[in-house]
Structure 1
Amino acid sequence: MGGEAEKWVLMVTARTPTNIAVIKYWGKRDETLILPINDSISVTLDPSHLCTTTTVSVSPSFDQDRMWLNGKEISLQGGRFQSCLREIRARAQDVEDKKKGIKINKEDWQKLNLHIASYNNFPTAAGLASSAAGLACLVFSLAKLMNLKEDNSQLSAIARQGSGSACRSLYGGFVKWCMGKEENGSDSLAVQLADEKHWDELVIIIAVVSARQKETSSTSGMRDTVETSALIEHRAKEVVPKRITEMEGAIQNRDFATFARLACTDSNQFHAVCLDTYPPIFYMNDTSHRQVLFYIYYILITRIS
């Protein structure tokens, strides 16, 4: 490593949007690798409205890996963080900054420590996919810092190991997460169905009725559903594949009536599966129920007119 060992710092800042699933992922076939039991499709939101901004830095003066989320230090010891860091470091390449006189050989990345500062401009753990944006941003910024050669689809397989939905936040527009069939998860990755310019007329409205952290985490909720719900297998094998095909067509044709119908029915079925879980999971409150009824009414009126 070149440069004055105790003085130089190299950093990268990235911004990654969150995404909203319109055909939902719920349930894993592998908890460690985060391999889903069905495909899913999402819409990536405008990063100027909802996003995570992450700055990653490296220096010989750092004595350990550290991370701050919204200004508060958090532990990096969790298995999912470590999986992402391990996968990124294993793929790191040589990096040289001639202006600063810094040269990092790819084998040096295993010895260098990182500082990570991440900020969400929307409520964390309140159901707006903050972990998806956060892990996607972490993986993308580290990949830039360490000069990885993988494309976004390949990076999505790494982000997936931190948070399943994170794989979809590495692309703008409309994104499909292919569940894959391989046991090692090599084919469980994200692909872009259409870019952010494809359907400019589509506007996503998000009404935050509560910024409180949800009572049941997605991780434990999915585990309980897979273990106890009688409906989840039918949804994954019979219902979702047909909806995926329909939704892909609706997106390509910019068919809002079909898009809205599929998004609403899939959301309803997701909540039905949660209710079929034991003990039942409630992700909606009374205000949410009233909003859903209003939006369905609005969609129907719009479709008729």
Structure 2
Amino acid sequence: MIYQASVTAPVNIATLKYWGKRDKDLNLPTNSSISVTLSQNDLRTLTTASTSPDFATDQLWLNGKIESLDTPRTQACLYDLRQLRQQMESKDDTLPKLSQYKLHIVSENNFPTAAGLASSAAGFAALISAIAQLYNLPTSWSDLSKIARKGSGSACRSLFGGFVAWEMGTLANGEDSQAVEVAPLSHWPSLKAAILVVSDDKKDTPSTSGMQLTVRTSELFKYRVENVVPRRFDQMKQAILEKDFPQFANLTMQDSNQFHAVCLDSWPPIFYLNDTSKRIIKLVEKLNHDAQKTIAAYTFDAGPNAVIYYDEANESQVLSALYKHYGHVDGWKGAKEEYGSSGEVDKWSGVSRVILTSIGVGPQVTSESLINEAGLPKNAE
């Protein structure tokens, strides 16, 4: 017999960046962070978790390829989830001993993996949520976020929709380092995002090693985490609760800039932005200048891809400005007639596609399964 559960989980993009760890093994951050959860209609990971007494080993397939489950991070997540299931089984003899069975996990992204689009966040959020559903764990999302955090720090924020805070906590064991909801999707549903995919390639410096280098070598880093982020954390939460877009936007752009300044201050320096990224920053600056108010905000994670936030009320103005230069790439969802004709496009290179999206919900249980009757990926048939 094969037991299974499938869950989809979203990408989140930090507006107040997490960068730096005070405990590498537990993935405890040096500062709190805030993010926006994006719509799963456009960016999501689908994961099917299955278990059976007939499975010989734990196995993971990601986007059709076998991946290792033997990393310390993944093993820490699986251990915690099995322990929670085992506690349930010890109190109820009628429950099947799922905690003792091996797992087959099949996962698929609908966006580039490891290209600066928070693939690990969605991936670990989907993995933890799917196994929690498989085990029927009565665990809160914040408690599950502590487990997801051990797999990928930013994954803890993908366990909620809308606007999410990852509270850094102070305890050495990490029990108070968790994600909490700042505001649900319904609070500010008019917030939209345009993602300009600058590169589908894997980044030169992975986030984990980049963080370690920054913590070890950057003199600006200590000032950031001790003085700047705590103040911005309260200011950004307030801006979200008040739906104050100009304040939200300015804080988002300033924090993105400082994050990359800290990367540049590392030794040797870390470069996640490229010339196309910088050109997009100038484009957004000009857009806000021409509008005589802040109607768009850029942010860049550990990669060159730009995420541009705007309110639906200013959608035509924002997307028209972007379309003027990047209207020749895929992803505009048939919006060409609204945002400009081909004759008006001043084609800029460096962007491979556009993803137009909005705020989304947290993990969702789905009936869509990625495994066959033998407990193997369907695409292996």
- Name 1:188's counterpart in structure 2: 177
Please list, as runs of the form range in 1=range in 2, the aligned pairs for 1:53-92 lying within 5 A after superposition.
53-92=46-85
- Name 1:10's counterpart in structure 2: 3
* Deviation (angstroms), 1:43: 0.1
Identity of aligned residues (%): 52
Alignment pair present for 1:33 and 2:26: yes
Q: Is the 8 A contact 2:51 2:98 kept in 1?
A: no
Q: Is the 8 A contact 1:95 1:147 kept in 2?
A: no
The change in CA–CA distance for 1:241 and 1:303 in structure 2 (over 3 A counts) is farther
Mapped partners of 1:270, 1:105: distance in 2: 52
* Deviation (angstroms), 1:302: 3.6
Please list, as runs of the form range in 1=range in 2, the aligned pairs for 1:185-264 lying within 5 A after superposition.
185-264=174-253
Q: Which moved more, 1:142-151 or 1:21-30?
A: 142-151
* Deviation (angstroms), 1:197: 1.5
Mapped partners of 1:60, 1:219: distance in 2: 35
* Deviation (angstroms), 1:296: 2.6
SS at match of 1:122: coil
Please list, as runs of the form range in 1=range in 2, the aligned pairs for 1:260-271 lying within 5 A after superposition.
260-271=249-260
* Deviation (angstroms), 1:295: 1.6
Q: Is the 8 A contact 1:94 1:147 kept in 2?
A: no
Amino acid at match of 1:282: F
RCO comparison, higher one (Cα < 8 Å, 6+): 2
Amino acid at match of 1:34: N
Q: Deviations over 1:49-93 (max 9, x none)?
A: 101000011111110000000000001000000000000000016
CA RMSD of aligned residues (A): 1.7
Q: Is the 8 A contact 1:94 1:105 kept in 2?
A: no
The change in CA–CA distance for 1:261 and 1:300 in structure 2 (over 3 A counts) is farther
- Name 2:369's counterpart in structure 1: none
* Deviation (angstroms), 1:149: 1.2
Mapped partners of 1:290, 1:43: distance in 2: 24
* Deviation (angstroms), 1:110: 3.8
Alignment pair present for 1:113 and 2:102: yes
* Deviation (angstroms), 1:106: 6.0
The change in CA–CA distance for 1:37 and 1:95 in structure 2 (over 3 A counts) is closer
Amino acid at match of 2:13: I
Mapped partners of 1:9, 1:292: distance in 2: 50
SS at match of 1:211: coil
Q: Normalising by the residue count of structure 1, what TM-score does the alignment of the two structures yield? A: 0.92
* Deviation (angstroms), 1:95: 8.8
SS at match of 2:186: coil
Mapped partners of 1:171, 1:29: distance in 2: 24
Amino acid at match of 1:163: S
Q: Is the 8 A contact 2:81 2:131 kept in 1?
A: yes
Q: Which moved more, 1:184-193 or 1:106-115?
A: 106-115
Mapped partners of 1:223, 1:17: distance in 2: 26
SS at match of 1:283: coil
Q: Deviations over 1:222-255 (max 9, x none)?
A: 0000000001110001000111111011101111
SS at match of 1:301: helix
- Name 2:288's counterpart in structure 1: 299
